[in-house]
Amino acid sequence: MLSRSLTLAILFAVSSPLLAADSDTPLGQERGRSRPLIIIASSSVDPTLVSLKKSLDEPANKEAFAKRSMVLYTIVNMIGQRNGKDMDAQSTMALIRDLKLGARPGDQAQVLLVGKDGEIKIDRKGSIDPKEIFSTIDQMPMAEKEAAAAAPVAPAAEPKSTAQGGKPGKGGKAAPAAPAAQPDD
């Protein structure tokens, strides 16, 4: 009994940091919940950074950004922000490590879009149009599933039954739904 407890304690102690490692990073925390848009620039006056942030502040783009469950990360001179709020240095470095960018010297800003699955969907140097970002998201399988889940489902009409005193909807059973048509391969 003691050896079993000791073995379990050792197994738990060894595996806990490995399991927690993914969720401790900013991208690990976003996985499955939101789509990070990351802008890495060497200066706060970088034209790509300024123009993209200005574009995202427009009402239509702001709404589209929120609708697609996106968050904005900016890294300027190794100082990170998430949706305009400062991140600590440790979180910023964890984000950079998560992206696995390596030593990429850059005179232009880099824009990255990470999907809910944690994979990089867009990796572009220089300027990018928000409509291109939104289009890329709309083509993702996860976006299609979300759109289908959000679509309102019309309630089925309840059949009228006169089995119990002529009151509609009592005592009758609804007919089973017809199977969905299968696409030809």
Per-residue pLDDT, 23? 61
- What is the pLDDT, as a whole number, of residue 148? 52
Determine the pLDDT at residue 2. Answer: 63
Residue 93 domain-assigned (yes or no): yes
165, part of any domain: no
pLDDT at 155: 52
> Is residue 56 a part of any domain in this protein?
yes
Look up the pTM and report it: 0.64
Q: What total number of domains does the chain contain?
A: 1
In a domain, 154, yes or no: no
In three-state secondary structure terms, 127 is coil
Bridge pairing between strands 70-76 and 35-41: parallel
Identify which of 86, 108, 104 has the alpha carbon closest to the alpha carbon of residue 39: 108
For the domain that residue 58 is a member of, what is the CATH number?
A: 3.40.30.10
pLDDT tens digits for the chain (185 residues)? 666 665 656 665 555 544 444 467 888 888 888 999 999 998 889 999 999 999 999 999 999 999 998 999 999 988 999 998 999 999 999 988 888 876 555 678 899 999 988 888 999 998 889 999 999 998 887 655 555 555 555 555 554 544 455 555 555 555 555 555 544 43
* pLDDT score for 185: 39
**Structure confidence at residue 22 (pLDDT):** 47
Smallest CA-to-CA distance from 48 within 120, 135, 130 is with 130
Report if residue 4 sits inside a domain. Answer: no
Task: Write out the residue range of the structural domain in which residue 81 sits.
Answer: 24-138
Block residue for tokens 């509609």? 168
